[in-house]
Amino acid sequence: MLAVIADILKESLSSLEWLERFGGLVSQAVKPVMVQGSDGVMVSKGNLIYPVSCGINTVNCWEKGAFKHLEPDSRKSAIAFFMDNGGVSFKGIEGPKMAHMKFEFELKLVFWLNVARLGEDITNNECQPSGRISPYVISKLFGPHTATGLFGGGIEETAFQAVEVTSVRELTKTPSMFEPFTFASDWACNLFIFPYDFFGLAIWGEFVVNRLCLEEMGLDWVPSDGCLSPVGPTPATLCQKVFGCLNDVEEFNSDEAGLAGGLISEGFVFFVAGAMHDARPWGSLVRLPLP
């Protein structure tokens, strides 16, 4: 539920066009630091921890570098994201037909600012522009919010009601507000002194979930099999699944056409050579690096 509330509050700050990278409720991506010991065996020296937004899977996170998307560095203008700061507490049931489940929540919203890149319009040539930015952010967060139009017509838009921020506190100005993420204690990078600035807010609020708006979940559920359509019987063996996937790969009569319209996966383009392909046998599966 906290992720839904974070997305609702994030929308209230959508007018901050200078905010280059704005995550919702982040998760912790943990990357072990491996070194080779004297005996040649790889051993762990600890972990690096990064904030990652919803939708970042293992491949995107590590192989495509998405784990650095919300990590501060001199090339980024401004970064913000929500962190769990106490979760959600159930407070009781009220309303007609006892339909309204009432909750309280606690979030943390942190900002990192690159003063040199933000420009005079935002910073007013101040070395710590957070003092003029934070009141504006608080004014947008405080008070009631709505989920309408934010979740593609999903149950979040009808079930989550009466979302309201009731209290905000500006956090003590110390990099520890970004913990447990590694960059919070990486003093060698000097990410928290001029030309950089930062601030954080502890946010308390309440919301209601209307039980009558919660649809049944899982009726007629069929597991997804990746490139296989979930409609119809599920293949019983791995070979059947593989052949089903291959049947969905399109044919192309040239490598150029295949690169333009083939199936993209893991940095490669896959297609089947067509009958008119002048360099490959008809029906052969082709894998080429993504241009």
| pLDDT tens digits, 203-233 | 999 999 998 888 766 666 666 554 443 444 4
pLDDT for residue 90 is more than 90:
yes
pLDDT for residue 65 is more than 90:
no
Please report the DSSP string for 232-282 in residue order. SPPPSSHHHHHHHHHHTSPEESSHHHHHHHSEEETTEEEEEE-TT-SSS-T
Q: How far apart, in whole angstroms, are the C-alpha atoms of residue 148 and residue 150?
A: 6
Q: 253: which residues sit within 8 A by CB, 6+ positions away?
A: 273, 274, 275, 276, 277, 278
Residue-level pLDDT at 284: 82
All domains of the chain in start order, with CATH: 2-26+70-213 (3.30.2000), 238-289 (no CATH)
pLDDT digits (tens, 9 = 90+) for 230-270: 444 444 444 444 555 556 678 888 888 888 888 777 777 88
pLDDT for residue 60 is more than 90:
no
Residue-level pLDDT at 62: 52
Share of the chain above pLDDT 70, in %: 83
SS3 of 150, please?
coil
pLDDT for residue 29 is more than 80:
yes
> Strands 263-265 and 196-210: what pairing?
unpaired
Give yes or no for a cis peptide into 180 (omega within 30° of 0).
yes
Listed residue (76, 275, 290) closest to 189, CA to CA: 76
Residue-level pLDDT at 230: 41
Structure tokens at 280: 């490959």
**Per-residue DSSP letter, 228:** B
Q: Are 164 and 205 in contact (CB under 8 A)?
A: yes
* pTM (global) more than 0.75: no
